[in-house]
Amino acid sequence: MIEKNEGLRISQAMIVKNEEKNIRRALSWGKGIVSEQIVVDTGSTDDTVKIAEDLGAKVLHFTWIDDFSAAKNYAIDQCKGDWIAFLDADEFFKDDTSKILDIIKKAEQNRSYVIAVQLINLNDEGEIIGGMTQARIFKNHVGIYYKGSIHEYLCSDDKINIYDATNELMIFHTGYSDSSYKSTNKTERNKSMLEKELQLHPDNSDYYGHLGDIYAGEGDYDKAEELYFTAIKFMDNAISDESLRRGTTLRNLLVILGGYNYRTDDLLKVYNYASTILPHDADFPCLVADHYYRYCNFKEAAKFYKKALDIYNKYGAYLKSDYVDTNLALIYSNLANSYFLIKDYISSIKTAVVVMTADKYNTDILKILLLSIKEINDSGIKGYGLKDEITLLSKFYDVNTLKDKALIYMMAEKLDIIDLMKYIADISSENEMKIIKSLN
């Protein structure tokens, strides 16, 4: 295997079972970066092993004993590299993996032995359905290992520093897609393992939370809610900056109470508890805002969206605020629309501008911006006439280009903003206007 790491050896490791659909992609991202690829098979009956061996991986076999940590720690024992990148077969790095080498060097300079990355869950259409912070790269031979028979996690007998690379590295995960779950039967396997663990550890809050996730995924929200409330009963009440499993349990319960079972009073009770023990997690106020937005209480929605974004902008998303971090544009759009619907047009414009700074072709937010300006113009407030409107739009759009002219004209026409339509027509050639009108 080609090495471009100038002495720094990286091992790629994974445990697999019946992953013939994913194994090629799983072993492709590391080519030229890693010095070895270790695949531990736990009982495949398809062509996973053959494909992995054909691709040059070292394949070993481990008898499955209902313990993910045991299998993963066996894989770690086989690795000779200085660092290990441990991804599942249904995960892959999105970006140029050559940056991994520089990130590892920065982590070592920082005396950090674990690197946290951003993990993004995708559905069958390739759309983002969630995200979280995950530790997937770690230094070898320093006593780092996995713990927990299911929903295993990295740990060490000694305190270790974690290098935050969530803004530098992104892993895509397809294992939560509908087709993946149906083809691998992961749900029933995990449910059985968690129920077995709860017999041994009946006061383990995390296991109740994980089991709740499975029932929620199956659409049994009443059972999931029951399990999440049981998890809260045994939950550690210590205040923390990092949300981890407690945050996931509380977040998912808020989703059920606010979106499926629609119980505002219970929703707010859980929110108050969650925001007390995990005050820097922006997801909690955001999910309350989603609830109010869904049921058209836009004044409360605006208040909670604003609070969520304030927390997110101040404290970031490292080991928390996963929902806000992966839905940021939508949240800003909902806030802008909430302001518009409660007739706070100035705040609506300011919020829309934030979105357009990142995505000027977001037509929903452009619509809100133009409607807000139109309402202000109709009310006769000075400072928001056509000249001011054009000045604002020129910060984002180049009206010398046909694409930007067409977008503004078509949106103005749809919203019946006559003076803006006339402005675009006046600065456009006859041929340009023929093209613009043909696009409508």
Closest CA to 256 of 242, 270, 246: 270
Mean pLDDT across the stretch 349-372?
A: 92
Q: Would the pTM of this model clear 0.75, i.e. be above it?
A: yes
Q: To 10 degrees, the CA torsion angle through 77, 81, 83, 86?
A: -60
Residue 6 clears pLDDT 90, i.e. is over it: no
Rounded percentage of the chain residues whose pLDDT exceeds 90: 74
Query: What backbone torsions phi and psi does residue 137 show, to the nearest 5 degrees?
Result: -125, 130
Residue 334 clears pLDDT 90, i.e. is over it: yes
**Which region among 147-156, 184-193, 235-244, 410-419 has the lowest average model confidence (pLDDT)?**
184-193
Residue 180 clears pLDDT 70, i.e. is over it: no
Mean pLDDT across the stretch 250-265?
A: 91
288-312 pLDDT tens trace: 999 999 999 999 999 999 999 999 9
Query: What backbone torsions phi and psi does residue 95 show, to the nearest 5 degrees?
Result: -100, 180
pLDDT interval class at 350 (50, 70, 90): very high
The Cα 207–Cα 78 span in angstroms is 29
Mean confidence (pLDDT) of the chain: 91
377-395 pLDDT tens trace: 877 666 567 787 888 899 9
62-93 pLDDT tens trace: 999 999 999 999 999 999 999 999 999 999 99
pLDDT interval class at 221 (50, 70, 90): very high
Confidence (pLDDT) at 249: 97
Mean pLDDT across the stretch 108-116?
A: 95
Domains of the chain: 10-177 (3.90.550.10), 180-308+317-323 (1.25.40.10), 336-439 (no CATH)
11-28 pLDDT tens trace: 999 999 999 999 999 999
Tell me whether strands 91-93 and 170-173 are parallel, antiparallel or unpaired: antiparallel
**Tokens coding 212:** 């709740």
The Cα 421–Cα 409 span in angstroms is 5
Confidence (pLDDT) at 183: 52
Residue 119 clears pLDDT 70, i.e. is over it: yes
